Amino acid sequence: MLRAMNTRIVRAALAATLLGAVAPHAGAQTRQKEAVNFVLTAQIESIDAKAKTLTLKGANGEGGVYEVDDQTTIMNGNKKIALGDLKKGWRLAVNGDKSSGKNVATYMEVVETDTK
């Protein structure tokens, strides 16, 4: 029993070491340089999963249509989720890039799921 527990501890330590060595390279397929030139917190007004867009409305009148691409990270707590997992009425914190003339979300995090 003690030997099995020690084996599990050694395996876990080895896995953590390997993960630490690989993790810096895991983002190699992400944007070369993530430009963040807007940040907002807003409520989801509508979602078009097919067009990969969200319509957002901020508390101070900011908002509009935001595109999501394959490199956009969407988080709900500590779990990465897909665009289709989002719900109308949820509030998001959004970072993004509009240097191309479009609002492209680079990172979104669910901050409130209460849809009252």
Residue 25 pLDDT greater than 50, yes or no: no
How many CB atoms sit inside 10 A of residue 29's CB? Answer: 8
| Three state DSSP letters for 41-109 | EEEEEEEECCCCEEEEEECCCCEEEEEEEEEEEEEECCEECCHHHCCCCCEEEEEEECCCCCCEEEEEE
Q: What is the model's pLDDT at position 21?
A: 44
Total-model pTM: 0.68
Tens of pLDDT, residues 42-101: 999 999 999 999 999 998 888 999 999 999 999 999 999 999 999 999 999 999 999 888
Q: What is the model's pLDDT at position 5?
A: 39
Q: What is the model's pLDDT at position 8?
A: 47
Is residue 21 classed exposed, middle or buried when 0-12, 13-18 and 19+ CB atoms within 10 A define those classes? exposed
